[in-house]
């Protein structure tokens, strides 16, 4: 019965992901807000792969009538050089469905402004994970946004399921005439099958470079720091890697 429940929830998750991907534009007519960016990152001191690597990332986020969507794809080492360098792709898609809007009720309380059904799909070279659970959007002074999602995490190639907590945030601030953004996320996942408990923490500090060339809030430069405890759930593999980055929003 437990395995049947997990399979049914996985099917539901896939259905919601498909809805978020294809039906949202039809139901909403158009997104109420959207943002797309392209990033280039370069860093070293990585584990489980090339020690130094470059990455091109494409991100898209939007709000629609009944929720929000977040999607990104990482292409690592896109300009492959040498026999030891591998080009890899990683994709995440995270649709959330607002219970406030679907039920037409005010579910806010304390700092919580919205309660949502949270789903996710993670796909990389040789693996994929399904996520389903609940999320909240938070109202915190000076934050552009703050989200917290609590998932059941299911890797179909591992025995059982586990949990995942994912906070994400964005905080704009200024020092004198210079504008900055502090943003990021953390994935905190339990053990599952042969995978160990792991934490993937990725804060980013950026400066608004576009402000100095007549394109404010369009071009950013900064540093992303990756700290990954038990990377990919591998016991004892701990990654600490800063990356220089440039980001263009359009």
Residue 8: the pLDDT is 53
pLDDT tens readout for residues 120-165:
999 988 888 999 999 999 999 999 999 999 999 999 999 999 999 9
* Across 72-101, average pLDDT: 83
Report, as an integer, the average pLDDT of 112-121. 96
Report how far residue 181's alpha carbon sits from residue 139's, in angstroms, rounded to the nearest whole number: 17
Q: Which two tokens mark 103?
A: 């039920």
Helix ranges (H only) for the chain are 2-18, 24-28, 99-102
Tokens 């995440």 belong to residue: 92
Mean pLDDT of the chain, nearest integer: 88
CA distances from 15 to 21, 167, 218 (A): 10, 24, 34
Tens of pLDDT, residue by residue over 199-219, are 999 999 999 999 999 999 999
Q: What is the mean pLDDT of residues 25-39?
A: 72
pTM for this model (two decimals): 0.86
Q: Return the pLDDT at 87.
A: 76
Q: Is the pLDDT of residue 243 over 80?
A: yes
CB atoms within 10 A of CB 104: 7
The pLDDT value recorded for residue 48 is: 86
Distance CA 167, CA 117 (A): 15
The answer on pLDDT for 46 being more than 60 is yes
Q: Which residue has the tokens 């995942």?
A: 164
Q: Where are the chain's structural domains? A: 2-249
Q: Enter the tokens of residue 4.
A: 């049947």
Residues forming a β-bridge with 183: 170, 204
Identify whether the C-beta of residue 184 lies closer than 8 Å to the C-beta of residue 200.
no
pLDDT of 27 higher than 90: no
**Element at 74 (helix H, strand E):** strand 67-76
Whether CATH 2.40.230.20 fits 2-249 = yes
């Amino acid at each position: 019965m437990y395995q049947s429940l997990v399979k049914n929830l996985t099917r539901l998750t896939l259905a919601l992901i498909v809805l978020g991907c294809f039906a949202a534009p039809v139901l909403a007519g158009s997104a109420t807000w959207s943002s797309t960016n392209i990033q280039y990152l370069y860093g070293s001191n990585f584990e489980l792969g090339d020690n130094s690597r470059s990455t091109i990332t494409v991100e898209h986020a939007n709000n629609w009538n009944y929720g929000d969507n977040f999607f990104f794809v990482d292409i690592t080492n896109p300009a492959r050089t040498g026999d030891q360098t591998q080009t890899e792709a990683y994709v995440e898609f995270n649709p959330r469905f607002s219970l406030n809007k679907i039920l037409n009720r005010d579910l806010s309380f304390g700092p919580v402004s919205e309660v949502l059904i949270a789903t996710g799909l993670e796909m990389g070279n040789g693996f994929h994970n399904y996520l389903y659970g609940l999320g909240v959007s938070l109202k915190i002074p000076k934050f552009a946004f703050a989200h917290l999602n609590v998932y059941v995490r299911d890797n179909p190639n591992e025995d059982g399921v586990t949990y995942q907590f994912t906070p994400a945030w964005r905080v704009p601030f200024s020092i004198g005439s210079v504008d900055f953004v502090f943003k990021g996320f953390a994935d905190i996942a339990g053990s599952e099958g042969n995978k160990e408990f792991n934490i993937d923490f990725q804060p980013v500090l950026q400066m608004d470079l576009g402000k100095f060339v007549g394109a404010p809030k369009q071009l950013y430069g900064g540093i992303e720091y990756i700290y990954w405890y038990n990377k990919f759930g591998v016991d004892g593999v701990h990654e600490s890697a800063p990356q220089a980055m440039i980001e263009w929003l359009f």
